[in-house]
Amino acid sequence: MSLTNYFLFGFVLCGALENDDPEGRVVGGTDAPEGAMPHQVSLELKAGRSDLNFPFCGGAIISDRWILTAAHCIQDLSARYLRVLAGTNSKSSGGTRYKVDKIVKHEKYTPRPNVNDIALLRTTEKIKFTDKVKAIEIATEDPKPGDLCKLSGWGFTDQNERNSPDKLQWLDVKIISEKDCKTDYLKRYEQSYPVTENHICTLNKDGEGTCHGDSGGSLVCNNKSYGIVSWNIPSARGQPDIYTRTTKYFKWIEDKMEANKP
């Protein structure tokens, strides 16, 4: 997939509600305090031989060499074009960029129905930890419906316009049950994009939630990663946001990190 086609695909997916495809942004959030989400990274595509880097997804630092993200973010991409920006709330200044030398995508990931939407990225060198750069722990127990968690990202901040902020946005989101997640609206997508026990759902008021650019970031509860931003239909219009449930993939994460030690 070319860089041009990749970005065109992302914009069409986020804006074309009539296509009945799931989206994958923080809408209704506010600027996060500097260093408040030290695990948060921006995934970027390097544009050929130039010095330009284009942000397209989020991720979470889980060790000094590994980033947790969504498989759909890195589908058909080569590690040599990927960069990881850590240690800053601004996409345009500060922080440190790391190259990627290994992509580990879930072997049973399928774009449609978007199952096993999880991947790991290994950086070429160790990530230097500071007050603004820290690894986040992967949760081993599920959150409960009603729990408040944090969502963060640089995705589009407006439902109707392509406004991507320079500053990291964050938002409180509420966990809902799998049963409540399967609303009448989502039932029309059940065959193509089923919600299963491997997902976590959150629901906020109309005008708040995820959108394109937030994909791959972590759902954080009690300073632990409980989910990976995966998809929703449509962005921040009072419908559930869907995350890959990281507790279901804890062993997969451990096994893949061990098997792919640098």
From the candidates 21, 39, 42, 117, which is the catalytic residue? 117
Would residue 209 be called left, alpha or beta, if left means φ above 0 and alpha means ψ between -120 and 50 degrees?
left
State yes or no: is 215 an active-site residue.
yes
Highest mean predicted confidence (pLDDT) among 7-11, 22-26, 104-108:
104-108
CATH 3.30.830.10 fits 137-247, yes or no: no
pLDDT at 105: 98
Average pLDDT, the chain: 83
pLDDT at 113: 79
Cα 20 to Cα 251: distance, rounded to the nearest angstrom: 33
From the candidates 42, 215, 218, 230, which is the catalytic residue? 215
Could you tell me the residue ranges of all domains in the chain? 36-135+250-260, 137-247
pLDDT bin (cut points 50, 70, 90) of residue 53 is confident
Helices (H), the chain: 3-15, 178-181, 184-187, 250-259
pLDDT at 7: 38
Q: Do domains 36-135+250-260 and 137-247 have the same CATH topology?
A: yes
Q: Of 27-31, 69-73, 135-139, 243-247, give the lowest mean pLDDT range.
A: 27-31
pLDDT at 222: 95
State yes or no: is 39 an active-site residue.
no
pLDDT bin (cut points 50, 70, 90) of residue 232 is confident
**Domain 36-135+250-260: what homologous superfamily?**
Trypsin-like serine proteases (2.40.10.10)
pLDDT at 38: 98
From the candidates 39, 72, 106, 199, which is the catalytic residue? 72
